[in-house]
Every structure is written in C-alpha cells, then in structure tokens.
A and B are shown apart, each in its own frame.
Chain A
Amino acid sequence: GESVGLHLPTLSVQEGDNSIINCAYSNSASDYFIWYKQESGKGPQFIIDIRSNMDKRQGQRVTVLLNKTVKHLSLQIAATQPGDSAVYFCARGNSGGYQKVTFGTGTKLQVIP
C-alpha cells in the first residue's frame, strides 16, 4: 500500500546544533514531497517541498534531500532554535487530480536550550 513513514518518533537536539529528520516512503509515484511543521494545537505549516526530479532543495535554514534510489527523504535544519520545537511531518503530493497530500507519522523535535 501507499505510505510515508518516519524512522524516529522523537528527536532531541541542542540549541545551535543542526537537526536531521528522516523519512522513508514506499510509493514512487509521487510528484512532490513536502515537509510540514506542526506546533501543539495548531494546523500544519508548510516548510519546504521538493519535486521528485530533484535531489536537493534549500530554503532559509532548511535543506531537503531526496534519495529516490533508497526512497528516503530528509529535512535538515541548521542552527536549531527553541522555536523549531514542533512535530515535523513528511508528506507526499501528486500534481494530478485533486493534489491530495498524504502525511507520514511525524517526528517530534525537542530543542534543548
């Protein structure tokens, strides 16, 4: 079946260090992969996405890497800050049809001051 899953449920990182959140996927038919940040009691917030024909994309303090060979996606956060503490979801999207987004299970990032 189609799924997007995460390796680790919780990640603790010292403030100022870099964070790496990993995600594995099983369906290769996705057009996009997306990372969302969800703070407690709030809706998901778009962070960055990457098309399936790319292997790297950079944003402000974030980098997403896509390895299609091993079906692995990662989100790297540079100089992690307390405000980065949240649950991070990887998700896949399709550009056809209604562009549904399927979410993975989430990783909780805890930033230690």
Chain B
Amino acid sequence: GAVVSQHPSWVICKSGTSVKIECRSLDFQATTMFWYRQFPKQSLMLMATSNEGSKATYEQGVEKDKFLINHASLTLSTLTVTSAHPEDSSFYICSARALAGNAGTQYFGPGTRLTVL
C-alpha cells in the first residue's frame, strides 16, 4: 500500500527556535498534502492544505506566518514551526492524497512529536 513518511519522528527544541518537519509520499505522487495537529487525547485538527507548486490554504485560526508550509514537489511537503513556544508542543501528522480516488485514499504519515522546552 501507499506509504507516507515523516521526518523526524520526534524533536525537542528550545523556545524561540524553528523546527522543520518533512512529509514524503514514498511510492506515489501526491498533488495535495494535509497537515494536522493533535493534542493529547484529542482529535486531529486540520491546519492547512498544501498543493504542489502553490501556496498552502490555512484553516481558520492557524497562523500562516508561524506555520510555514512548502510543497516543492509531488512527493515532499514541509512544515516549519517558526519561533516555537511550549504551546506549540503537539503531535504533527501529515497526509497525502493520491492523484486519483476519493477522500478515503488519503494516506497518513506516522506523525512527528514536537516538544518545545
């Protein structure tokens, strides 16, 4: 089946630093990738939709200048948390949608655990 990877799987950083998370579709091309955030014991909240070669579409309440998204190719999207603070500590999950198919063919990555000290 289709595989989506994320790197790193976990990261610990100091407050004020920036952290980049990569999301890759390993065996398929993804025109659209999605970034979610999940706090403990809560559901996944969509942060933004990333389309290859164009600007990301952010959900209401998500600061686009804080969460920079780049979708440079059909297999790679990156999320950069700029000037991270402890409240940004969360589980960040990406998903990738194959070129064809319905919403059920959205494949999720394993997630990245971010801890900001």
Contacts and interface: CB of A to CB of B under 8 A. Distances in A.
Partners in one complex: yes
A95 interface: yes
Contact of A99 (B4, B32, B57, B113): B32
Interface stretch (A39-47, A66-74, A77-85): A39-47
A98 B93 contact: no
B34 to A, nearest CB: 7
Given A98-B32, A100-B46, A101-B34, A31 B109 contact: no
Interface residues of B, number: 27
Interface of A: 31-32, 34, 36, 41-46, 48-49, 51, 89, 93-95, 98-106
Given A42-B110, A46-B105, A103-B43, 6 more contacts: A43-B111, A44-B108, A48-B104, A101-B46, A101-B103, A103-B36
The 6 closest A-B pairs by CB, nearest first: A93-B103, A49-B104, A43-B108, A103-B43, A103-B44, A99-B103
